[in-house]
Structure 1
Amino acid sequence: MLNKNIVNLLNEQLNRELYSAYLYLDMANYYAENNLNGFENWFYIQTQEERDHAMLYRQYLLNNGESIVLKKVDAPNIKYNNFREPLVNSLEHEQQITSFINNIYDEAYKIKDYRTMQFLDWFIKEQGEEEKNADDNLKKYDLFAGDSKGLYMLDNEMKSRIYTAPSLVL
């Protein structure tokens, strides 16, 4: 049985991951509406990853005999003024998610909840990748998207991203 505070934090994170999926789907929609299909693809795949992250939290809670508490998922309601803004928002969002996961880890460490710490180890590694990917996307945009040819090439590069399901074994 897990500590109730840990259960609450994990449930909150599950809901944050669902919001993340909404956020990235909103970004995918923005790029689709502007005919940047590679950017759309990249963020649509990110949507799938975030949904899967939520399902991993769900399964961990269920595997430990805990209840799932689903909350209302708010729409992102972000209006972008240019193609760069979603990339900046993505990086900032991933940094925020990292801080939330680190907080859960800190709480688990305080009470010596090694099982939850081990579960979160995968997410900590994953967040390092998420932040790097978001930062790389922004840097590539700043470097190459200054003209239409560069934007076209970057869009084509982002179109090549394929979905890979998470490999965390619970």
Structure 2
Amino acid sequence: MKISDEVAAAINTQINNELTSSYLYLAMSAWFETQPYPGFAKWMLKQSEEERMHAMKFFNYLNDRGGVVKLEAIKEPKAKYSKPLEAFQLALESEIKTTKQIHHIYEVADTAKDYETRHFLSWFLQEQVEEEKTASDWVQKLELAGEHVNALFNLDHDANTREDI
């Protein structure tokens, strides 16, 4: 069954949202590269790649369902932060926003009785639980570290061990 115009529009918006998130994390990675935090830079780069992968899942799904992908301009992301905690707080806010955006698509699909899209979104709903928890954990760790240089460097080292996308 061809996807409805309403669901296709919501998915197109989400493709842009995911690419915007990817761009935000890429900008964060670039900022961390200018700081003594190569681990945080790597973590943010991996997160950027993951968000782009999410955009491509939506992109491919829309194509598979006979929809038309409509890419939009991406706004310039914030590029400077006062400290690592500020960047991770923005990352958490971004993940919470993404969860709400996916809920919106689910509601549109539910109204349209588009059971295939609701099923497709199940993976994203579970993924967002993980994304919010991970970002929240980093915020909590950085709050505990405060301005303690050794603690920040240890956290940066931990961030550098991230391998997944």
Q: Is TM > 0.5 for Structure 1 vs Structure 2?
A: yes
The residue number in structure 1 matching 2:136 is 135
Letter in 2 for 1:134: A
Aligned-residue RMSD, C-alpha: 1.1
Q: What percentage of aligned pairs have identical amino acids? A: 36
Structure-2 separation of matches of 1:67 and 1:39? 36
The residue number in structure 2 matching 1:120 is 121
Structure-2 separation of matches of 1:6 and 1:125? 20
How far did 1:145 drift? 4.4
Structure-1 separation of matches of 2:136 and 2:79? 20
The residue number in structure 2 matching 1:156 is 157
The residue number in structure 1 matching 2:63 is 62
Is 2:73 the counterpart of 1:72?
yes
CA contact (8 A) 2:15 2:59 kept: yes
TM-score normalized with structure 1 length: 0.93
Please list the CA deviations of residues 114-151 of structure 1 after superposition, one character each: whole Å capped at 9, or x if unmatched: 10000000000001111001000001111134311111
Q: How many residues align?
A: 164
Which segments of 5 or more consecutive residues in structure 1 lack a partner in the other structure?
Answer: 165-170
Moved over 2 A (4+): none
TM-score normalized with structure 2 length: 0.96
The residue number in structure 2 matching 1:107 is 108
